[in-house]
């Protein structure tokens, strides 16, 4: 089988977790051909050891795992070529060098994925120099991608060159000196700002059906389009930032993101899982209110409470949503932070740190202590972020024997309690912490707010800027899967309905 020589792209929304299915999906920049097939000069030979170019080549070599002498700079196109087939523009390489790596959704995720407005409408233009067999392959491959369910990825053909995100052009790749076939297709990586990184080249050496049938051309184009949205090679592992997508196997022999060109047989189920994980499609329900904090009941009864934007004594007005009349009804009192127990009663922290329990038809009961945040789980377990300074923020306390008992070790600034009574927290460095039974452990993931729902589900507001605020993530079997949408505060229903968020405009949305 001929080697694919495709390019890979940066993805930042790749959510990964255990087995590395798509090493392709996982490699930050992997090439689609054997790394030793190249006859181009090294970057230093072409640039006279230009210090800036050498620094960029070192970065790309470190990210991809390729030897630095396999990173070649094309002075005319201002593009790096890695291992003969991965293309990275100089501006993209500079973006990779300068981008804030702390913006990753978690420590095992690729840095960049395409922005929502880009991935939902990727315009592809095929130049007139492309022979009919390649053109047909492009049309078929775009239809193949668009047919994958539950994902926002969508390609469409652009008749106007100026409107195109991906411009497919023809190049002739001569056979290698040893007589072996050269690259098949190459695609630029995405830019660090979430836009398409550039165009695609197809090798017209393979025009004839006798050299490469339409079925293989179709797979080659589908593979390259996969690179364009952030997938990497499934069957190769190299580089510092290769990640594995949750619920995908270590290897997938049926994946279109393997590095060899075979006949088209369709996407594997793990190809589809990977894309659905990276770019999930979901419609959020908007509610006619604005809020500063939000809390869903941790029990089976469906309740949704908010701290509004209306100033009152104690902070801001409290409301409760009636799922029958579809109205937010006022509740006496005021606060800054809110949680709701399995009995439907609210726990409130007001603007001077006082803690109250009650609301609705029950009178407010003042509890001892003072707090900055509060959480209640399905078992009735209650935790607070106290006002006592501790490493990571403020000491965490739990309610037992009618008093607040301090948990030793790390502190935090945000708190949640799972349906099994396990505490989760966010510290002042945005680290996600989890209770080990006696203290809090650093999970290695990052977030801005945390919530826990039914069936052990845990959600977080991540670090990646998206429409609506920051990424929404769900913890699945120890890894964080990014959901569609964004927000700045989050809660989760105890009945398993999923999360509800407040976005950066204060609007309340439910998943």
Residues 252 and 21: beta-carbon distance below 8 Å: yes
> Tens of pLDDT along 217-242?
999 999 999 989 988 777 765 444 44
Q: Return d(Cα 258, Cα 249) in angstroms, integer.
A: 13
Cα–Cα distance for residue pair 98/21, rounded to 1 Å: 29
Percentage with pLDDT > 70 across the chain? 82
Write b or e for each residue in 262-299: b if 16 or more Cβ atoms lie within 10 A of its Cβ, otherwise e.
Answer: eebeebbebbbbbbbbbbbeeebeebebbbbbbbbbbb
Q: Is the pLDDT of residue 27 over 60?
A: no
**Which among 404, 487, 464, 410 is positioned nearest to 441, based on CA atoms?**
410
| Contacts made by residues 362-365, CB under 8 angstroms, sequence distance 24+ | 364/332, 364/333
pLDDT (average), residues 151-175? 92
Strands 166-171 and 122-126: parallel
What is residue 323's predicted lDDT score, i.e. its pLDDT?
Answer: 85
Q: Which residues pair with 442 in a beta bridge?
A: 433
Q: Mean pLDDT lowest for which of 49-53, 84-88, 452-456?
A: 84-88
pLDDT in tens, 323-371: 888 889 999 999 999 999 998 899 999 999 999 999 867 789 999 999 9
pLDDT of residue 37: 25
Q: What is the chain's mean pLDDT, rounded?
A: 82
State residue 213's pLDDT score: 96
Give the 3-state secondary structure of residue 393.
strand
Region 35-39: what's the mean pLDDT? 28
Q: With bands split at pLDDT 50, 70 and 90, how would you rate the model's confidence at 214?
A: very high
Residues pairing with 373 in the sheet? 385
CB-count burial class (<10 Å; 0-12, 13-18, 19+) for 373: buried
Tokens 């790390």, residue?
410
Q: Which of 33-37, 254-258, 370-374, 434-438 has the lowest mean pLDDT?
A: 33-37
pLDDT, position 236:
62
Least confident range from 19-23, 217-221, 299-303, 321-325: namely 19-23
Give residue 84's pLDDT: 65
Structure tokens at 168: 């497919």
Q: In this predicted structure, what is the pLDDT of residue 102?
A: 34
Burial 79-105 (b: 16+ CB within 10 A, else e): bbbbbbbbbbbbebbebbeebeeebbb
Helices 132-146, 214-229: axis angle to 10 degrees equals: 50
Torsions phi, psi for 398 (to 5 deg): -125, 150
Question: For 66-104, what is the HEC assignment?
Answer: CCHHHEEEECCCCEEEECCCEEEEHHHHHHHHHCCHHHC
Nearest residue to 155 (alpha-carbon basis) of 122, 116, 185, 119: 122
Higher-pLDDT residue of 218, 456? 218
- Render 122-145 in DSSP notation, one character per residue: EEEEE-TTS-HHHHHHHHHHHHHH
Q: What percent of the chain lies above the pLDDT cut of 90?
A: 50
Q: Cα 230 to the chain's mean position, in Å?
A: 11
Q: Which of 190, 257, 184, 219 is nearest to 26 (CA)?
A: 257
Residue partners of 302: CB distance under 8 A and separation at least 6:
296, 323, 493, 495, 497
Work out whether the CA dihedral 478, 484, 486, 489 comes out positive or negative.
negative
pLDDT at 502: 97
For residues 21-31, give the mean pLDDT.
34
Residue ranges of alpha helices (H) inside 184-331 are 214-229, 269-278
Residue 282: what pLDDT? 79
pLDDT of residue 101 exceeding 70: no
Q: Which two tokens stand for residue 58?
A: 């070192």
- Which of 20-29, 365-374, 377-386, 390-399 shows the lowest mean pLDDT across its residues? 20-29
How would residue 401 be classed by pLDDT, with cut points 50, 70 and 90?
A: very high
pLDDT: which is higher, 467 or 236: 467
**133 vs 62: which has the higher pLDDT:** 133
Name which residue leads in pLDDT, 51 or 256.
Answer: 256
Which single residue is written with the structure tokens 């509800």? 500
Which one is predicted more confidently, 388 or 40?
Answer: 388
pLDDT confidence of residue 145: 97
Q: How far apart are CA 362 and CA 365, in angstroms?
A: 9
| Residue 36 pLDDT exceeds 80 | no
For residue 34, pLDDT over 90 is answered with no
Would you say 469 and 488 are in contact if contact means Cβ atoms under 8 Å apart?
yes
Question: DSSP assignment, residue 205?
Answer: G
Q: What is the mean pLDDT of residues 155-182?
A: 88
Q: Is the pLDDT of residue 266 over 90?
A: yes
Over 90: is that where the pLDDT of 75 sits?
A: no
Distance CA(292)–CA(359), nearest Å, equals: 18
DSSP code at position 130: S
Using 50, 70 and 90 to split pLDDT, how confident is the model at 423?
very high
Q: What are the angstrom distances between the C-alpha of 124 and each of 127, 192, 197, 198, 429?
A: 10, 20, 13, 11, 41
pLDDT of residue 247: 65
Averaged pLDDT for residues 471-493: 88
Q: How far apart are CA 54 and CA 22, in angstroms?
A: 30
Ramachandran angles phi, psi of 412, nearest 5°: -160, 180
**Predicted pLDDT at 250:** 67
């Amino acid at each position: 089988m001929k080697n694919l020589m495709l390019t890979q792209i940066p993805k930042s929304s790749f959510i990964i977790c255990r087995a590395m299915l798509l090493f392709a999906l996982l490699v930050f920049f992997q090439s689609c051909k054997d790394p030793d097939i190249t006859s181009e000069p090294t970057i230093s030979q072409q640039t006279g050891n230009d210090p800036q170019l050498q620094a960029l080549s070192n970065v790309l070599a470190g990210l991809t795992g390729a030897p630095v002498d396999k990173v070649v700079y094309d002075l005319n196109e201002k593009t790096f070529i890695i291992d003969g087939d991965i293309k990275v523009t100089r501006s993209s390489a500079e973006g990779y060098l300068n981008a804030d790596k702390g913006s990753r959704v978690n420590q095992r995720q690729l840095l960049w994925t395409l922005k929502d407005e880009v991935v939902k409408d990727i315009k592809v233009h095929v130049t007139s120099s492309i022979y009919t067999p390649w053109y047909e392959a492009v049309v078929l491959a775009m239809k193949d991608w668009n047919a994958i369910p539950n994902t926002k990825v969508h390609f469409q053909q652009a008749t106007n060159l100026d409107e195109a995100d991906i411009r497919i052009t023809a190049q002739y790749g001569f056979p290698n000196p040893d007589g072996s076939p050269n690259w098949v297709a190459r695609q630029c990586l995405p830019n660090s700002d979430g836009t398409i990184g550039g165009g695609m080249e197809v090798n017209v050496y393979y025009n004839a059906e006798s050299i490469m049938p339409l079925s293989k051309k179709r797979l080659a184009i589908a593979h390259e389009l996969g690179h364009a949205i952030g997938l990497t090679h499934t069957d190769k592992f190299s580089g510092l930032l290769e990640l594995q997508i949750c619920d995908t196997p270590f290897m997938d022999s049926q994946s279109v993101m393997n590095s060899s060109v075979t006949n088209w047989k369709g996407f594997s189920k793990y190809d589809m899982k990977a894309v659905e994980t990276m770019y999930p499609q979901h419609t959020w329900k908007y509610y006619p209110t604005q809020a500063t904090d939000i809390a869903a009941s941790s029990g089976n009864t469906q309740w949704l409470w908010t701290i509004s934007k209306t100033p009152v004594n104690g902070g801001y007005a409290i409301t409760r949503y009636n799922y029958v009349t579809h109205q937010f009804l006022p509740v006496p009192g005021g606060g800054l932070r809110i949680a709701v127990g399995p009995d439907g009663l609210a726990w409130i922290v007001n603007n001077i740190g006082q803690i109250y329990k009650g609301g609705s038809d029950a009178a407010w009961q003042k509890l001892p202590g003072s707090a900055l945040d509060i959480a209640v789980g399905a078992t009735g377990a209650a935790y607070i972020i106290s006002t006592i300074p501790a490493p990571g923020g403020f000491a965490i306390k739990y309610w037992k024997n009618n008093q607040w008992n301090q948990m030793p070790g790390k502190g935090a600034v945000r708190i949640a309690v799972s349906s099994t009574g396990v505490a989760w927290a966010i510290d002042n460095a945005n680290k996600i912490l989890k209770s080990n039974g006696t203290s809090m452990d650093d999970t290695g993931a990052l977030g801005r707010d945390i919530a826990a729902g039914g069936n052990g589900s845990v959600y977080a507001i991540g670090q990646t800027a998206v429409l609506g605020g920051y990424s929404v993530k769900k913890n699945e079997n120890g890894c964080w899967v990014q959901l569609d949408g964004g927000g700045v505060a989050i809660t989760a229903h105890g009945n398993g309905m999923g999360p509800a968020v407040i976005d950066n405009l204060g609007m309340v949305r439910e998943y």
